[in-house]
Each structure stands twice: as structure tokens, then as C-alpha cells.
Chain A
Amino acid sequence: MNKLKKVTGMALFLPIFCMVLVMAVNIVYDAASGNFAFNFFTISIRNGVLYGRLIDILNRGSEIAILAVGMTLVVSASAGTDISVGSVMSLAASFCCMLLAGYGVSSTNDLAVPLFVGVLGGVLMGCLCGAFNGFLVAYLNVQPMVATLILFSAARAIGLLLCNNLIVYVRNDSFKFFGGYAGFMPTPIIIAAICVIITMVLLKKTALGLYIQSVGINKRASRIAGLNSAKIIFVCYVVCGLAAGIAGIVGASRISSADSNNIGLNYELDAILAVALGGNSLGGGKFNLAGSIIGAYTIQAITTTLYALGVSSDVAPVYKAVIVIIIVTIQAPPFKAYMKRLSARRALAKGGAAA
């Protein structure tokens, strides 16, 4: 009993529980339709690369996971969301492809500039957008949603202009790497993992994580305590822009083109949802990065599950909504408070201090 309490009390219990719940649907479906019950979870090597639904989830969920890293920091520090990430993804992708193909070229097999210049350009463009958002929020005190609304609507259009209103195709194998395979492993998974690990190490090994939380809880108090609140918020937005830039490059590389109308479309909503599913409060303050990452993959798991179940695409959003409602309810504060009350009562009965 005590062990169970310990497990359920862990911060990541609910996000992981929800993820498992979504996966469980597939076991039931596979078993019911007469297949091997763990069909969904089989991973094999085919054509020399990893192959399976789980790999699909990890692979396709990479962009959302990368975005979720930045979004978590932004939400924590500024108690607001960056709704421009999807558009910034598109802008970064367009800028990268424009550099690689040359301005006004709509399809190319040869790179106009070395690959790293294009990729670096795209990532820096993401940072620049993040810096713009961060400047508005941190130094001009514009509300995060309003500040990021500017690039939400403008970035996609700027991307189109950079690409001369065309979809720029970069059909070059070296550019395909970022959305393709590194050895037997899909590269997006590796990129997402690197982003997550670097951020986690930075947060754990330096005081940055603590600073961000403290600014998120009370900006003014943190400043009085000697923290440069504005700078910390600014940095968070730059990191968020950086994440969007990286995600944009991955997205563009996947389809080896800069389709500025569709890259990252509605991804900002998925990224915010990932943060919420991870058990983080959108009101800022304490955050749990691992939760957000799990949230991101949960969203992708839902999508992949719906595809696997063959749910008709007209009604798929409804199912998605129902699942999200269930997950959010499980994690809702009243539900958590109820659990807390239960454990508090038990602790009281024992007469011991709560661990």
C-alpha cells in the first residue's frame, strides 16, 4: 500500500499513466481483432532501419517534443504561452531552404551554400524570432499571447516572401538527413533526445532551472532577491525560438521542402497541450520538463493510435478531444486535491508526519 502511494505520489505518475492508458487501447484492439496482442509494440529492423508503431510515435512526435522543451520554459518563466512557435518553425524552414536553394529557385538538387550554413541560418532565424518575442515580453511587458500573436500571423507570411511565394524543394540527400535516418535510427528521435538532454543537464547542473521557477512564481520578488527577471524571461523565449528553429529544420527535411503553409501548422496548440498534459500549470512557476516531453509523445501516441484503429478522418478530432478531456480531468487540481486529502487523512491516522 505504501509502495503504491509512493508511486502514485511521484510527479510523473499521472503523465506516464495517461500515456500507458492510450497505449493500452491498442493492446485491447489488437487482441480483439485477433492479432498478436502486442502487435502495436513490435519493433523490428526492416531495410536496415527501425520499423514499428512505437518508432513512428517517437519519430513523428519529435517536433512536438522539441517545441515542448522551449514551451515549458516559456510557460514557467512568463506564465504565458508562445503561440508563434508553429509559424516560427515555418519561417525557419523557409529561410533554411531559401539559403540552400538560392532566392527564387523553386526546386534544386544541388545546394547553393554548404549545408551547415543553411541549417545554422534557419536555427538562428528561430533564435531571432524568439529574441523578438522575448524582448516584447520581458522588456516591454507586453502580454505573452499578444506579443507572440505578432509572429504567429506574420512569420508564415515572411517565410512565403523569402521563398518568393513558392514551395521550395531541396532534393538533396544530405539535407534529407535531419528528417531521415542516422544509421538505423530515425534522426528526428536523436535530435529530440539531444535537445532534451542538453536542456535537462543545463537545468539540473546550473541554477537556471531554479531561477526560471522563481521568476515564474513571483517576478518582482525574484528581482528584489537579486535575479535579473527580465533577462531570464528573455532567455526562455530565445530558447523557445531556438527549439522552434530546430523543429522547423526537422519538419522541412522530412518533406525536403519548405512548404510554409503547412510546416508546423497548429503545432503551437499541440506544444501547449503537451505542457498541460505533462502536469504543468499554465500559470507559470514550478515545472516538470520530463512531464512535457511525455505529454508530447502522448499526443502523437493518440494520433498514431487513431490511424492504427482506422478511425475515419472525419471523426478523428472528436476521439482526440474525448481522450484529451479524460487525460486533463485525471490531472485536474480538484482530482489531485481529492487524492491529497485521502493521503493526508491516512497520514493523520498513523500519527506520523507526512514524508
Chain B
Amino acid sequence: MKRKLIGLLLCVAMTATMLAGCGSKGGDAPAEAPAADAPAEAPAEGGDDAEADADAPAASGDLITIGFAQVGHESDWRTASTKSCQDVFSEANGYDLQFVDCDNDSAVQLEAVRGFIEQDVDYIIIDPIVSTGWDTVLTECEDAGIPVIVIDRTIDDSDKYVSWVGSNFKTEGLAAGEWLKAYAAEKGITEINALVIEGSTGASATIGRTEGFKEIADREGWNIVDSQSGDFTQDGGAEVMESYCKSYEGKFNVVVCQNDNEAFGAMDAMKQAGVSYGVNGDVILISFDACTAGLEFVKSGDINADFECNPLAAPFVEEVIKTLASGGTPEKEVYMEEHWFVNEDILSTIEVNGETQNLTVVTDEIIAAQY
């Protein structure tokens, strides 16, 4: 009897934990919603918006409905991407956003898109979990006359979408290379021996960033000593760097980490091995993503340069939607504007693909504004 009671108690406890977890999520939604259409915001933005806000409850048919099938919520980057859409496509801005978190399950995502077709939304936004298997469902969207906008990741086996909005990973890699070239010239460093900590094997970010950086390295005759995967994680970055420090002791002066988390791990490992890095160190540390935590390290001089991967796709998607609404044809591929962050004020621009691009020196204001 006693045992049964204990068992029952355990069951209740587990269920309670789960409910508590779910409850907290549910509790968030209403907390966010009033913030989104806070009355204080609308007048500040101008008379038109205030009017739209006032109309909204009366005639909700005027709202543009948008279905958004998001990948999931696996990283800060993804959360920022979701939040960007929720902020831009708010009711105050005249949109009704149907948001589905697909939890990295591509079957759920296909169902979500079909659900949007049934609801007859005005536009569908997809961040495809997988790049293939989309033709059928995109044809259904086309038949229903709903324009599809793809963001972030790509769809390879169908072109029945209006636009793709995302980052150009290769440009990020090229920018890193061009910056390193200019920086080395400025500092009088003639020989570059680079170690690369790659992201997850096969990820488009890994492929693009590797390609871009390698292109410059080959052109400049740099030596890429080794290149191994750290799986985009801090632990992975630390483990690879630990090994690098032992294998190539004193034989490298540049470390390229393909995201910020790997850079955090690499810093830990270098600290332990007694390798000095960053602005006043022996090793130049380059990172990608430029999340808030990453920028803090750029500011403190631990990371020399951080190349942004912009998660805030929504404003660009809104542009596409506006173009469509006014009867125009948006571009098939829309590349987002991205920033290159540095610690030192010695270079102001770099040439990437023949274009002059600005470098941003990290300050507290910039960190506060970052996602």
C-alpha cells in the first residue's frame, strides 16, 4: 500500500513537472501579446498605425494573415528569428500571424503548411527543416494561389516559391578572409597559419563559410593547418581546440571558429594551454554568428572579429510582401544585410566581392541592440 502511494506520488510529481513546464510557456504568451500591441507603441509610430490598431478588433478581416512554419527553438539564433517575425507581423502592424513551431520535425512542417492552405492564409513563410520533398506541397500552395516565401534554409527540389530570404554564408566566409588579409597587412603579419573549427558536417553554414574562407586562403597562399568539426557547440569547440593546442603547439597564429559557441569553447581550451589570443594575444580569433554573448567577447578583445549571420529576416520578408501586394515581382533571392564586427578601430572598410563594406566597432550600444 505504502509503495503504491509512493508510486502514485512519483507519477503526480512527474506530471506536475511537465505541466509546470507547459504552464510557464502558456503563461508567457499572454504576457507577450499585450507588449506587442501596447497602446503606447502605436501612437509613437504614427497616426496610421494607431488607426489600424483601432480598426483591428472591429474588422479583423482587414488583417493580412500569414502562416509561418518555423524550424523549432534550438538556439538563441532561432529564438531571435521567431521573435523578429512575431514583432514585425504583429496585429498592430496589420497582420495576423499563425505561428507553428515544428520542433525540427519535417512531417509536422508539411502538415503545418497544409493547415495554412486550409485556413486560406494570404502568405506562407517557411523555414524548411529539410531541403527536399517540397514540390508536392508547394504545388498545392500554388494551386491555392498562396505565395510562399522561404527564409533562412533553402529548398532544393522546387522553385514554386516567390522568394528566398536569407544569409549568404559564402560571403560571410569571404568577408572573414578579406578582413584577415587587411588586418594582417595592417599589423605586419606576413605568415598566416590558420586552424579552422568547422560547424556540423554538411550544414549549409559550414559549407559556405569554409568555401569562402578557403577561397581567400588559397588566393593569398595562407596555410590552413587543420580543419575539424566542432559541431557548432561549445563543448565540441573546446575538445577540438584542446587537441589542436597539443598537435600544433606554436605552429598557428589564426583560429577560425564557425560559430560563437565554438569560439567560447576554443577560448577555454587556449586559456588552459597557455596560448594567448585576441587583440593583445599571439593568436587571431575569428568567429561567426555575432550573437550578444559573442559581441561581448569582441568588445573585451578576446575575439578579434565576428561576422554576423542575421536572424532578423522578418523586415526583409515584409518588403517582399509589400512588393507582392503592390503587384510587383520581388527578387528570387534576397540576401540580408549583415554586419562585420571588430574590436579595433584600425580598419574601417574591407573589399568583399569587389564591394566596399563597413566594419563595425563593437560598443555597449551595439551589444544592447543585438539579438
Bound together, the chains give a CA A164 to CA B24 distance in angstroms of 8
Query: A312 to chain B: which residues have CB within 8 Å?
Result: 227-228
A195 at the binding interface (Cβ < 8 Å): no
Min CB–CB distance A44 → chain B (angstroms): 11
A244 at the binding interface (Cβ < 8 Å): no
Contact indicator A161/B24 (Cβ below 8 Å): yes
Q: A251-B235, A259-B233, A307-B243 are in contact. Are A161 and B22 (CB under 8 A)?
A: yes
Contact indicator A132/B10 (Cβ below 8 Å): yes
Bound together, the chains give a CA A128 to CA B13 distance in angstroms of 9
B178 at the binding interface (Cβ < 8 Å): no
Query: A38 to chain B: which residues have CB within 8 Å?
Result: none
Task: Pick the residue among A46, A154, A261, A304 that contacts B273 (CB under 8 A).
Answer: A46
Contact indicator A254/B22 (Cβ below 8 Å): no
A162 at the binding interface (Cβ < 8 Å): yes
B1-42 Cβ-contact flags toward A at 8 Å (1 or 0): 001000100110110011001101100100000000000000
Q: A47-B274, A103-B24, A107-B293 are in contact. Are A304 and B243 (CB under 8 A)?
A: yes
Bound together, the chains give a CA A316 to CA B228 distance in angstroms of 10
Contact indicator A154/B18 (Cβ below 8 Å): yes
Q: Which residues of B from 252 to 284 have beta carbons under 8 Å from A?
A: 261, 264-265, 272-274
Q: A162-B21, A255-B234 are in contact. Are A135 and B73 (CB under 8 A)?
A: no
Contact indicator B234/A257 (Cβ below 8 Å): yes
Q: Which residues of B from 52 to 86 have beta carbons under 8 Å from A?
A: 73-76, 79
Bound together, the chains give a CA A47 to CA B246 distance in angstroms of 14
B226 at the binding interface (Cβ < 8 Å): yes
B150-191 Cβ-contact flags toward A at 8 Å (1 or 0): 000000000000000000000000000000000000000000
Query: B261 to chain A: which residues have CB within 8 Å?
Result: 259
Contact indicator A128/B14 (Cβ below 8 Å): yes
Stretch of A13-21, A48-56, A68-76, A274-282 on the interface side: A48-56
Query: B74 to chain A: which residues have CB within 8 Å?
Result: 261
Q: Which residues of A from 91 to 137 have beta carbons under 8 Å from B?
A: 103, 106-107, 128, 131-132, 135
Stretch of A165-173, A324-332, A342-350 on the interface side: A165-173
Query: B242 to chain A: which residues have CB within 8 Å?
Result: 56, 60
Bound together, the chains give a CA A154 to CA B14 distance in angstroms of 11
Q: A158-B17, A167-B76, A308-B243 are in contact. Are A255 and B7 (CB under 8 A)?
A: no
B363 at the binding interface (Cβ < 8 Å): no
Contact indicator B3/A139 (Cβ below 8 Å): yes
For B22, give the chain A residue with the smallest CB separation: A161
For B73, give the chain A residue with the smallest CB separation: A165
Task: Pick the residue among A49, A53, A60, A314 that contacts B246 (CB under 8 A).
Answer: A53
Q: Which residues of B from 278 to 306 have beta carbons under 8 Å from A?
A: 292-293
Bound together, the chains give a CA A131 to CA B7 distance in angstroms of 9
Query: B229 to chain A: which residues have CB within 8 Å?
Result: 313-314, 316
B247 at the binding interface (Cβ < 8 Å): yes
For B274, give the chain A residue with the smallest CB separation: A47
A54-66 Cβ-contact flags toward B at 8 Å (1 or 0): 0010001000000
For A35, give the chain B residue with the smallest CB separation: B247
Contact indicator A310/B201 (Cβ below 8 Å): no
A301 at the binding interface (Cβ < 8 Å): no
Query: B124 to chain A: which residues have CB within 8 Å?
Result: none
For B235, give the chain A residue with the smallest CB separation: A255
For A40, give the chain B residue with the smallest CB separation: B246
For B244, give the chain A residue with the smallest CB separation: A307
B120 at the binding interface (Cβ < 8 Å): no
Query: B235 to chain A: which residues have CB within 8 Å?
Result: 251, 254-255, 262-263
For A310, give the chain B residue with the smallest CB separation: B226
Bound together, the chains give a CA A53 to CA B273 distance in angstroms of 12
For B17, give the chain A residue with the smallest CB separation: A158
Contact indicator B7/A135 (Cβ below 8 Å): yes
B239 at the binding interface (Cβ < 8 Å): yes
Contact indicator B228/A307 (Cβ below 8 Å): yes
Contact indicator A313/B10 (Cβ below 8 Å): no
Query: A251 to chain B: which residues have CB within 8 Å?
Result: 235
Contact indicator A262/B233 (Cβ below 8 Å): yes
For A103, give the chain B residue with the smallest CB separation: B24
Contact indicator B21/A164 (Cβ below 8 Å): no
Query: B308 to chain A: which residues have CB within 8 Å?
Result: none
Min CB–CB distance B341 → chain A (angstroms): 18
Contact indicator A56/B14 (Cβ below 8 Å): no
Query: A139 to chain B: which residues have CB within 8 Å?
Result: 3, 7
Among B17, B73, B76, B228, chain A packs the most CB atoms within 10 A around the CB of: B17
Bound together, the chains give a CA A267 to CA B246 distance in angstroms of 25
Bound together, the chains give a CA A49 to CA B227 distance in angstroms of 27
B198 at the binding interface (Cβ < 8 Å): yes
A235 at the binding interface (Cβ < 8 Å): no
Query: A164 to chain B: which residues have CB within 8 Å?
Result: 24, 28
Q: A51-B272, A160-B73, A161-B24 are in contact. Are A313 and B3 (CB under 8 A)?
A: no
Query: A132 to chain B: which residues have CB within 8 Å?
Result: 10-11, 14
Query: A166 to chain B: which residues have CB within 8 Å?
Result: 76, 79
Query: A316 to chain B: which residues have CB within 8 Å?
Result: 229
Task: Pick the residue among B28, B75, B272, B273 that contacts A167 (CB under 8 A).
Answer: B75
Contact indicator B18/A131 (Cβ below 8 Å): no
Bound together, the chains give a CA A169 to CA B226 distance in angstroms of 30
Query: A261 to chain B: which residues have CB within 8 Å?
Result: 74-75
Query: A313 to chain B: which residues have CB within 8 Å?
Result: 198, 201, 227-229
Contact indicator B272/A308 (Cβ below 8 Å): no
Contact indicator B21/A131 (Cβ below 8 Å): no
Min CB–CB distance B10 → chain A (angstroms): 5
Min CB–CB distance B80 → chain A (angstroms): 10
Contact indicator B75/A60 (Cβ below 8 Å): no
Min CB–CB distance B26 → chain A (angstroms): 10
A sample of 9 cross-chain residue pairs with beta-carbon separation below 8 angstroms, ordered by A number, consists of A51-B273, A128-B13, A158-B21, A164-B28, A166-B79, A167-B75, A304-B243, A307-B247, A310-B226
**Given A308-B246, A313-B229, 9 additional A-B pairs, CB 8 A:** A56-B243, A132-B11, A166-B79, A255-B233, A259-B233, A259-B234, A307-B240, A307-B247, A308-B247
The 8 closest A-B pairs by CB, nearest first: A313-B229, A161-B21, A307-B243, A255-B234, A262-B233, A165-B73, A313-B228, A261-B74
B-side interface residues toward A, CB under 8 Å?
3, 7, 10-11, 13-14, 17-18, 21-22, 24-25, 28, 73-76, 79, 103, 198, 201, 226-229, 231, 233-235, 238-240, 242-243, 246-247, 261, 264-265, 272-274, 292-293
